[in-house]
Structure 1
């Protein structure tokens, strides 16, 4: 068992709190994180969410992210092909704080394929020219960089289809990041004895 003071803290971002089995979902994620030396905190850890106080909920979640070493983000399509907008905001907030972010629950489809699956055929084969934008049936351009999600998510963060792979990578990156930060701290001991991460 890993001593409690060596655990790194991660925040569980995702729409899981909206499901009727939210407690069970978060319990499973927390148990998996513990196996990799991570202590996970969720949006519902402080008890029942005050339904009449959106500002309180927002402040609580942002506080969790500030206290965390990293974020495990569930970017599965939620009520459509795109991830939950609150989760996307939390990912951006964590990135702005230089927290490690790893995402999961994104299938192997590209963003383009997911939009096509959800919204019907695109104009890929009927464009007048290969350089013309790909659009949906309403003529709205569809991003096609071959990524699993919008480029603002997929080009900046690791995304895995399976939770266990995401947690393993998050643990690795959080530990590396923590070692690097300790190596920069003159109060953390002899810098020559501290592992540097490139």
Structure 2
């Protein structure tokens, strides 16, 4: 997952999110992702994202993404018309260690899903700090703006993967906090001609 030598010991924490040109990752509680689907559904996006998730041993997500992902991904994974990369991603999502941050979901709720190896937690900072000190492959936050904001403020994100889609939303959920100041270095930039999106991988400067 990392092109630059880690500056800090332990597992690296990455955050992957798709944003609009004006910095929103979603339109709110009733999220309509049609603005990003040209990119998300493209073969170029599959190849790029595979380069991230295959190095990850723990996935982190919030309640909204857990509910949304588990409602659609099992069918996509089992659909014979899905690409091999899509099915691989679906199988990874179903089996990789997952930590779901929520104050309303219970462990019993998670166990109703076809996905396995998931547990609920409420304390984002303490949980991720503990995860990064455990042995294993890297940790990835899956498109959850509120979790990313919390971890940025706590200085717990090492790799920030921002895919900028050529759309503006005007309002919604922002990924970067308004009161957050920081410095990053560009590790890589990838253009997607078919969708017009650009993926920017930033890392914290070496200490």
TM-score strictly above 0.5? no
Larger RCO (alpha carbons 8 Å, 6+ apart): 2
TM-score normalised by structure 1 residue count: 0.32
Q: Give the TM-score normalised by structure 2.
A: 0.31
Structure number with higher strand proportion: 2
Q: Which has more helix, going by share of residues?
A: 1
